[in-house]
Amino acid sequence: MVLVTTVQFPTDLPHSSGAAVAMWADPADIEPAAQEQLRNVAALPWTHRLAVMPDVHFGKGATVGSVIAMHGAVSPSAVGVDIGCGMAAVRTSLTASDLPDDLGPLRSAIEAAVPVGWNAHDGHADVRHDPGLTSRVDEHLRGFGSLRAPGIGERHGRAVAQCGTLGGGNHFIEVMLDEAQAVWLMLHSGSRNIGKELADRHISAAKGLEHNLDLPDRDLAVFLAGTPEMDAYLHDLYWAQTYARLNREVMLALVEDVVRGAFPGVGFGERVTCHHNYVAQETYDGVDVIVTRKGAIRAGRGDLGLIPGSMATGSYIVRGLGNEAGLCSASHGAGRRMSRNKARKAFTVEDLEAQTAGVECRKDAGVLDEIPSAYKDLGAVIAAQTQGDSPLVEVVSKLDTIVCVKG
């Protein structure tokens, strides 16, 4: 049974009665620390509405899996430090019958083409089959000098080298099969270190502003509309969101090159892309608001989105239903059910091997914190937003993982 509730969280902050909260998660399943974060967000005097996704869990300042509509303000922590993080996928002309029995060489070739973990390109990524993409990346990087966060200029070289790189943690590149056994390529990554550097600098600046000094959680510090500080943050944030999208485009092009080399004559068709840590200016209840989606995707009517699971559970392509009660949003994935440290202590490499059986991927201690059992059940998360009286999305396709690359 899907639970959609409207909650008025009490508050002792001045000039606020608490914003309405619509939830696609059972409050009993939300850890106490995350519940406290939701109360803090709802109590802010600038919060117009708050929508809680079924993958909600504790984050820095604001929970992961929350969509916050603010009037006249924006909180950088409600976006997150990996600005513009999101998904990209493309369907190939290949089918399962075209693939070899041993997918190890394909995984190794992808890992050789796309730097993972702490690695980066030696200068600019070489996108051979899409010179137009290279031009767009170059043009965007020329705007680096306009960034307004203090001391960011020294990060230029690293931003260039990291465009087209995966990173680590829950970021991945996967080869997948849909229900018709068509082969898809999918990846998950964001704005790499430059997004984090920009976010950290602006969060630090926000914490020092007088109107934020009495907040229940200083990590929720906001910038106010019409101020130079908010203008500077949004300028840098929109730059980072575009960088994140281009980062995924470059990686997808590099993976496509690998697949071309392995399967001459392959074609590439339908593409699906989406951010899930980002800012958008939208209107709800006749009020112009700034919407932050932290661990959530836009699910306006007809919008296609990607909701991934963990290393072995597959992912879903979904179509938004434009549910305004949910601020036209949906979850960004399954969501963690335990911390990375707890997962490392709770499971063994043997557990990882068992849970990723049938998937060509790393099966070592370095990715133990990404074991499927560290995440919520993806099927339940999808059901929570596709069933009941107030669905957020409808399922277009289920994709099953056969190759997973992680840093």
**Residue 335 annotated in ligand binding:** yes
Q: Which of 10-14, 167-171, 181-185 has the lowest mean pLDDT?
A: 10-14
Whether residue 223 contacts residue 229, with contact meaning beta carbons closer than 8 Å, is answered with yes
Which listed residue (48, 202, 275, 332) is catalytic? 332
**Residue 189 annotated in ligand binding:** no
Q: Which of 88, 91, 87, 104 is nearest to 403 (CA)?
A: 104
Mapped onto helix, strand or coil, the DSSP state of residue 30 is coil
| Close Cβ partners of 122 (under 8 Å, ≥ 6 residues apart) | 161
User: CB atoms < 10 A from the CB of 168, how many?
Assistant: 16
| Close Cβ partners of 36 (under 8 Å, ≥ 6 residues apart) | none
| pLDDT for the residue numbered 11 | 40
Alpha carbon 232 to its chain's center: 23
In a domain? residue 148: yes
Whether residue 220 contacts residue 78, with contact meaning beta carbons closer than 8 Å, is answered with yes
**Residue 383 annotated in ligand binding:** no
Whether the per-residue pLDDT at 260 is higher than 70: the answer is: yes
In a domain? residue 6: no
Report the DSSP pairing between strands 20-23 and 5-8.
antiparallel
Please confirm, yes or no, whether 332 is among the known catalytic residues. yes
| Tokens 């994935």, residue located | 333
| Close Cβ partners of 311 (under 8 Å, ≥ 6 residues apart) | 172, 355, 356, 359, 361, 367, 370, 371, 372, 401, 404, 406
> Mean pLDDT, to the nearest integer, of 347-367?
97
| Close Cβ partners of 228 (under 8 Å, ≥ 6 residues apart) | none
pTM across the whole model: 0.94
> Mean pLDDT, to the nearest integer, of 150-165?
95
Alpha carbon 16 to its chain's center: 30
The C-alpha atoms of residue 239 and residue 224 are separated, in whole angstroms, by: 20
The C-alpha atoms of residue 61 and residue 79 are separated, in whole angstroms, by: 10
The C-alpha atoms of residue 300 and residue 295 are separated, in whole angstroms, by: 16
Read off the pLDDT of residues 70-110 as tens digits, 9 standing for 90 and up: 999 999 999 999 999 999 999 999 999 999 999 999 999 99
The residue range of the domain holding 19 is: 11-337+375-406
Report the DSSP pairing between strands 47-57 and 20-23.
parallel
In a domain? residue 363: no
In a domain? residue 358: no
Q: Which of 387, 393, 349 is nearest to 368 (CA)?
A: 349
Gyration radius of the chain's alpha carbons: 21
Amino acid at 186: M
Q: How many domains does the chain have?
A: 1
Q: Which of 46, 40, 81 is nearest to 60 (CA)?
A: 81
In a domain? residue 344: no
Whether residue 209 contacts residue 220, with contact meaning beta carbons closer than 8 Å, is answered with no
In a domain? residue 366: no
**Residue 406 annotated in ligand binding:** yes
In a domain? residue 355: no
Question: What CATH number corresponds to the domain at position 201?
Answer: 3.90.1860.10
Amino acid at 46: W
Average pLDDT, the chain: 94
| pLDDT for the residue numbered 399 | 98
Whether the per-residue pLDDT at 215 is higher than 60: the answer is: yes
In a domain? residue 342: no
| Tokens 């899996």, residue located | 65
| pLDDT for the residue numbered 12 | 38
The C-alpha atoms of residue 358 and residue 312 are separated, in whole angstroms, by: 8
**Residue 307 annotated in ligand binding:** no
**Residue 295 annotated in ligand binding:** no
Read off the pLDDT of residues 388-399 as tens digits, 9 standing for 90 and up: 999 999 999 999
